[in-house]
Amino acid sequence: MPPERHGPGDPMQWLRRAKSNLVRARLGSHIPDVCLEDLCFDAQQAVEKSVKAVLIRMRVDFPYTHNLARLLSLAEQAGVPVPDAVKSAEALTRYATAMRYPGMDEPVSEDECLEAFSSAEIVVTWVEKLLSEPQLEL
């Protein structure tokens, strides 16, 4: 039975989708002929959706953008302390733009891909903890 689904105003739905992107990225690394750039895009999406979950919880309007620095800045402006390890995920923004298209950037190495996964896991874990805190409200 599929999990219960809620609308776009539910931060837990955004986190569920973020976790799905992260699982897909991790599993995809074991499938032949999968482009590393696509897996890194899934890692970027995990971060983006996780941060948007926090913004929804904080009742912060956000643009539909892939710019992780901008989204994390909005979280900080709303009073959410963003650790440096989470801020470093801003580097994944590049995987949502030029990296999605052939020949627009240098190919991604396996090490870069693993780094993207690790960065995304840090952010998803951070958001899970934040969303479990009842005081994370306006």
Q: Within a domain: residue 136?
A: no
pTM metric for this prediction: 0.89
- What is the torsion angle, in degrees rounded to the nearest 10, for the CA atoms of residue 64, residue 67, residue 6 and residue 11? -130
**Amino acid residing at 54:** V
Q: Within a domain: residue 4?
A: no
| CATH (domain of 77) | 1.20.120.330
| Local confidence band at 32 (pLDDT 50, 70, 90 cut-offs) | confident
Q: Within a domain: residue 114?
A: yes
Q: What is the mean pLDDT of residues 108-123?
A: 95
Q: Within a domain: residue 23?
A: yes
Tally of structural domains, the chain? 1
Q: Within a domain: residue 99?
A: yes
Integer Cα distance of 50 and 10 in angstroms:
12
Q: Contact 91/69 with Cβ under 8 angstroms?
A: no
Q: Within a domain: residue 26?
A: yes
| Local confidence band at 138 (pLDDT 50, 70, 90 cut-offs) | very low
Assess whether pLDDT exceeds 70 at residue 18: yes
| Local confidence band at 136 (pLDDT 50, 70, 90 cut-offs) | low
Average pLDDT, the chain: 89
Q: Within a domain: residue 137?
A: no
**Residues spanned by the domain of 108:** 11-131
Contacts of 30 (CB under 8 A, 6+ apart): none
Least confident of 19-23, 24-28, 100-104: 100-104
